[in-house]
Amino acid sequence: LATTYYEPVAEIGGGAYGTVYKARDTESGKFVALKNVRVQTDQNGLPVSTVREVALLKRMEQFDHPNVVR
């Protein structure tokens, strides 16, 4: 977790790709959801599913929506 910017408060849930946490933005005090993505490397590099997940999250940065953290 990016603990310098966010303070984890509680675990919301987990799945095959990672764990989602409720966290507090240390600067504004607002609550956010953080996803800690599990990355399992092997001899061939990153699994395609992990690359796909990270690519999707990176694409979400372009949306100007109050629920999407940059």
User: Binding site for ATP: residue ranges?
Assistant: 35
What letters, b where the CB count within 10 A reaches 16 and e where it falls short, cover 34-61?
bbeeeeeeeeeeeeeebeebeeeeeeee
Distance CA 34, CA 37 (A): 9
Distance CA 11, CA 1 (A): 12
Feature table: binding site: 35
